[in-house]
Structure 1
């Protein structure tokens, strides 16, 4: 059995009843969500949205890095996005561990020095979230008509709480 056979079988089963083809790629609900890659987060479900409703951008920590900001500009101008939710979460590894701890774990796992690897560490989640909101709202290609909110997603309750 191949390493991906279980996933390919699940995909085949999924495709057998798939009836969502033909979308044009715009965000039908006008929403973009920036969140963490954490598997405890289901961005569409947590907002009551469906396939095709939103653009989902995920990375460690749910931060607005350069690539995420570029994607938001594209989403706003080409993909119908008029609301942006930035939603890191509780109990996030990059928000709750010092860089030295994560780096030590990476060094041990890889057997190499990972000091060259950029880690999206934050020393204060609320402060970083506020900074990310400002980074989006002050971008010259994202107009003030675009609504941007900063939220923390609680992985234990499923609730979002608006911070910014």
Structure 2
């Protein structure tokens, strides 16, 4: 399976991390609808990630799908299926990052805080460094927040070995969701490649996550 564009973007990232500008922000004029580099990126919505800059993407090169955590949710899968089958992408890049907010809570904790549990409100306030204000209502949606597995840490904690392990677990889970989805081929003549990375928000560098490997536990 071809990874020619992904490998090129990794080279671009080295230039970006060293301070070189590799993304041209000027409007390029009329372009075709299919991404020129046949790439789809799933990345976190964190404000410190400028996906075009850190990969050296130009306007029209790739589909960029963003959400809290860069999680491969049902909606991300929906986007990837459309991206591949209708718009001719065949390389998928997943990007998580250090100091991610998804490390600072659990789904149950956030739901309890939103519903008005005082203990949960206090814990969330300590984790975020701001007063957590409950909505005092329950809701069936969203069904999941997709918080990352493992012991909680304060919001925006400096990167360490445990944090990298937790991030790697979730990158592998996201890769697995794609690799095992029946409508996203990763073998045969219509195959897409799937690779996952952790972006260091302090250095600007990408580190690849091996797959397969540990994905963590619920404990």
Give the TM-score normalised by the residue count of structure 2. Answer: 0.60
Q: Does 1:146 align with 2:192?
A: yes
Gaps of 5+ in 1: 1-17
Q: RMSD over aligned Cα, in angstroms?
A: 2.2
Report the counterpart of residue 68 of structure 2 in structure 1: 60
Q: For each residue in 1:36-82, what CA deviation from the matched residue of structure 2 results, as whole angstroms up to 9, or x when unmatched?
A: 11111011111111111010000001000001001101111122211
Question: Aligned pairs, how many?
Answer: 148
**Structure 1 CA distance for aligned equivalents of residues 102 and 138 of structure 2:** 15
Report the counterpart of residue 178 of structure 2 in structure 1: 136
Q: Does 1:120 align with 2:162?
A: no
Report the counterpart of residue 163 of structure 1 in structure 2: 209
- 1:102: Cα distance to partner? 4.3
Q: For each residue in 1:105-146, what CA deviation from the matched residue of structure 2 results, as whole angstroms up to 9, or x when unmatched?
A: 656335324574431201132222111101111211222221
CA contact (8 A) 2:43 2:67 kept: yes
Most deviating of 128-137 and 110-119: 110-119
Gaps of 5+ in 2: 1-25, 116-131, 150-165, 211-219
Question: Any idea what SS the aligned residue of 2:182 has?
Answer: coil
Report the counterpart of residue 6 of structure 1 in structure 2: none
Which of 32, 36, 40 is residue 28 of structure 1 equivalent to? Answer: 36
CA contact (8 A) 1:28 1:80 kept: no
**Structure 1 CA distance for aligned equivalents of residues 167 and 85 of structure 2:** 29
